Amino acid sequence: MDAVAVRQPEMAHEPHPRESFIRHYIFSIDHKMIGKQYFLTTMFMALVGGAMAMLMRAHLGWPDNGVLSPEQYLQAVTMHGTIMIFFFLTVMLTGGLGNLLIPLMIGARDMAFPFLNMISYWTFVPGVITILLSYFVPGGPAGNGWTAYAPLSAVPAAEGGAGLGQTLWIIAILFVVISSLFGSLNFLTTVINLRTRGMSMGRLPLTIWGAFVTAVLALLSFPVLMAALGLLLLDRLAGTSFFEASNLIIGGAASTHQGGDALLWQHLFWFFGHPEVYILILTPMGVVSDIISTFSRKPIFGYKAMVLSLAAIGFLSFLVWGHHMFVSGMHPLLGAAFMGSTIIIAIPSAIKTFNWCTTLWHGRIHFTTAMLFAIGFVSVFVTGGLSGIFLAIAPVDLYLHDTYFIVAHFHFVMASASLFAILAGTYYWFPKFFGRMMNETLGKIHFALTFLGIYGTFYPMHFIGLHSNDRRLYETTAYPFLSHTGPVDVFVSLSAFLLGFAQLFFIANFLWSLKYGPVAGDNPWHANGLEWTTTTPPPHGNWEGALPAVYRWPYDYSVPGARDDYVPQTVQAIPLVAAAGAGGGEA
């Protein structure tokens, strides 16, 4: 019982001669190599961003030790957020997982525009270099938060990192934005036009649906950030007054800028910023759906509802940016409207959560490391989602805004959830791309410590936040009302160190398995997706010979009467159990 191979001359790749080192590893146009480049680059950036977090916690746990100066602390906060969001999660999910998986899961030879794909990676690299370079300029890197609110970001004299560091920050983000635009343009076109025959939109794996909606969001939201960054750069370098208000007194002298509107920055930024957080969560939702289905040996529950809720979340994400600005001085009616649209997002999110749970229900669950991280995703997503309900309510948000409560919220719902899905996806697809299995024991230790570390770090932050501890506060010991949160901060810091330590197991496992892991077959998980039908690792062009044809969705697990508990998408007719196979077993 094999895939019916269909020759498609117009799609066939010529077998390539052995390429030079540079063409193969550096300026490759193969989506798998580009995906690995993105994967490793963003993993490195995650280490940098993680180091920033460790520094922050080292200060916050023991504020009297003076680990960081106030300026350095704000710079650590800023660079942690910037690097994790722009240089790790966004690019890992689109450039990394998207590149690796989209052509393989839809049955394409490569991306629609392979050359543009290579350009996209090589636009990202200058961004990485620029942001790292900003550590080594006078004044240090930007210290104004990943949101770069004007006027602090518009006035070079505002603070330590607001000089050259902030300028380099803007340029670095512009590189990332352009790179992401190239990428999402490519993904969108690829998913629409390069699906193999039989791979209808209704048969796409949910990972691809997630990546597809993500590409739409990125394509429509990143240009807005680009406009805002361009105007901000002009304010800083050319002396325009888009965001810098009149009558600012800087260093005792009045600013020459006139009539700029700092709120305008917030509107533009959050119009991009809210779709951005869904850019970080929709692909993970898809990845987790696929992994949960595979290891429950059950079809995903409510496929259509899963797709529609992805689309609904994507659509709604453009209508809720105002909930980041409840305290910025907004007309109360407008605030109420944003509150309503924000709460509505709970509905598609809940649909997804219930569908994951009902997929697990009565399944034969295999607790692999990938599965543990996928279930962990559901846990942290629910925890973070519930605190989101509080924050969506404008009057409650007035109290909780900018406290550690919101830090806890988005680290659960967006940061941890996204991280868990990336780790789940890495454990799940590592065998396909590197040809070897990762070590399950190390993986499970990694999961257990990470899970405990995440909850230990972020759960207590809810209480610190309810005590009105501001998220950017450097001197936490200076205020009597915070005297009770000191020990909690110590606990949080210790948990954060545990979390950081746990990642060493992952790195060790990754590097060890590359060389010494047991050799993986083509389909080690007995999964249905198209990516498991090719050889491991997939050749240039992804399939030797013709592209496979698809006859079913990727969720035919445990079909009653079938011989195996999985039926790959390329199987035309299900091989039945011999005893029950009257008239149907020959396949």
Partner 1 sequence: MPTLVLERHRGGTLRDVGGRGRGPSGGDAAPGREPAPVGTGLLGVAAFLAAVTMLFLAFTSAYLARRQEAGWPAFSPPWVLWVNTAVLLVSSGTLDWARRRIRSGDAAGLRRGVEWTAALGLLFVLGQLAAWRQLAARGLYLTTNPHSSFFYVLTAVHGAHLLGGVVALATVLLRSWQGRYTAQAHAGVTNCAVYWHFMDLLWLYLFVLLFWV
Residues 521-560 that bind partner 1 (CB under 8 A): 549-553, 555-560
Residues 174-203, interacting with partner 1 (CB under 8 A): 181, 184-186, 188-189, 192-194, 196-198, 200-203
What b/e string do you get for 442-476 counting C-beta neighbours within 10 Å, with b at 16 or more? Answer: bbebbbebbbebbbbbbebbbebbbbbbebebbeb
Which position among 73, 175, 222, 433 is part of the footprint of partner 1 (CB under 8 A)?
Answer: 222
Q: Is 104 in the site for partner 1 (CB under 8 A)?
A: no
To partner 1, the closest distance from the beta carbon of 551 in angstroms equals 3
Tokens standing for residue 105: 């899961």
Rounded to 5°, angle at Cα 514 from 537 and 440: 100
Which position among 220, 393, 442, 498 is part of the footprint of partner 1 (CB under 8 A)?
Answer: 220
Q: How far is residue 199's CA from residue 547's CA, in Å, rounded to a whole number?
A: 11
Q: How far is residue 338's CA from residue 278's CA, in Å, rounded to a whole number?
A: 17
**327 vs 573 by CB, closer to partner 1:** 573
Residues 307-366, interacting with partner 1 (CB under 8 A): 307, 361-363
Q: Give CA 66 to chain center in angstroms.
A: 33
Element (H, E) at 150: none
Q: Is 576 in the site for partner 1 (CB under 8 A)?
A: yes
Q: Is 518 in the site for partner 1 (CB under 8 A)?
A: no
**138 vs 202 by CB, closer to partner 1:** 202
**209 vs 510 by CB, closer to partner 1:** 209
| CB contact at 8 A, 438 and 509 | yes
To partner 1, the closest distance from the beta carbon of 447 in angstroms equals 26
Q: Is 221 in the site for partner 1 (CB under 8 A)?
A: yes
For CA atoms 550, 555, 558, 561, give the dihedral sign: negative
Q: Is 219 in the site for partner 1 (CB under 8 A)?
A: yes
Interface region with partner 1, contact rule CB under 8 A, candidates 216-224, 393-401, 454-462, 497-505: 216-224
**For the chain, how big is the Rg over CA atoms in Å?**
25
Q: How far is residue 265's CA from residue 410's CA, in Å, rounded to a whole number?
A: 21
**187 vs 505 by CB, closer to partner 1:** 187
**36 vs 195 by CB, closer to partner 1:** 195
Neighbours of 364 (CB within 10 A): 11
To partner 1, the closest distance from the beta carbon of 6 in angstroms equals 8
Interface region with partner 1, contact rule CB under 8 A, candidates 15-23, 298-306, 329-337, 507-515: 298-306
Which position among 164, 234, 250, 498 is part of the footprint of partner 1 (CB under 8 A)?
Answer: 234
Q: Is 156 in the site for partner 1 (CB under 8 A)?
A: no
| CB contact at 8 A, 427 and 372 | no
Interface region with partner 1, contact rule CB under 8 A, candidates 295-303, 385-393, 473-481, 488-496: 295-303
To partner 1, the closest distance from the beta carbon of 268 in angstroms equals 6
To partner 1, the closest distance from the beta carbon of 87 in angstroms equals 21
Interface region with partner 1, contact rule CB under 8 A, candidates 46-54, 217-225, 392-400, 490-498: 217-225
Total residues in contact with partner 1, by rule CB under 8 A: 77
| CB contact at 8 A, 500 and 419 | no
| CB contact at 8 A, 41 and 90 | no
To partner 1, the closest distance from the beta carbon of 581 in angstroms equals 9
Q: Is 113 in the site for partner 1 (CB under 8 A)?
A: yes
Residues 383-402, interacting with partner 1 (CB under 8 A): none
Residue 576 has φ and ψ, to the nearest 5°, of: -95, 165
Q: Is 427 in the site for partner 1 (CB under 8 A)?
A: no
Which position among 39, 271, 278, 510 is part of the footprint of partner 1 (CB under 8 A)?
Answer: 271
Q: How far is residue 316's CA from residue 310's CA, in Å, rounded to a whole number?
A: 10
Cβ partners under 8 Å of residue 221, min gap 6? 271, 272, 275, 276, 279, 318
Interface region with partner 1, contact rule CB under 8 A, candidates 12-20, 91-99, 226-234, 337-345: 226-234
Q: Is 573 in the site for partner 1 (CB under 8 A)?
A: yes
What b/e string do you get for 144-166 counting C-beta neighbours within 10 Å, with b at 16 or more? Answer: bbbbbbbbbbbbbebbbbbbbbb
Q: Is 230 in the site for partner 1 (CB under 8 A)?
A: yes
Assign 3-class secondary structure to 390-442. Answer: HHHCHHHHHHHCCEHHHHHHHHHHHHHHHHHHHHHHHHHHHHHHHCECCCHHH
Residues 3-32, interacting with partner 1 (CB under 8 A): 4, 6, 8, 11
Q: Is 304 in the site for partner 1 (CB under 8 A)?
A: yes
To partner 1, the closest distance from the beta carbon of 94 in angstroms equals 14
Q: Is 303 in the site for partner 1 (CB under 8 A)?
A: yes
The tokens 């603070």 sit on which residue?
159
**185 vs 400 by CB, closer to partner 1:** 185
Residues 237-266, interacting with partner 1 (CB under 8 A): 238-242, 258-259, 261, 264
Beta bridge partners of 250: 253
To partner 1, the closest distance from the beta carbon of 156 in angstroms equals 15
Q: How far is residue 411's CA from residue 423's CA, in Å, rounded to a whole number?
A: 16
List Cα–Cα distances, 500 to 90, 365, 503, 505, in angstroms.
20, 29, 6, 10
**67 vs 220 by CB, closer to partner 1:** 220
Q: How far is residue 465's CA from residue 569's CA, in Å, rounded to a whole number?
A: 48
Which position among 68, 101, 211, 224 is part of the footprint of partner 1 (CB under 8 A)?
Answer: 224
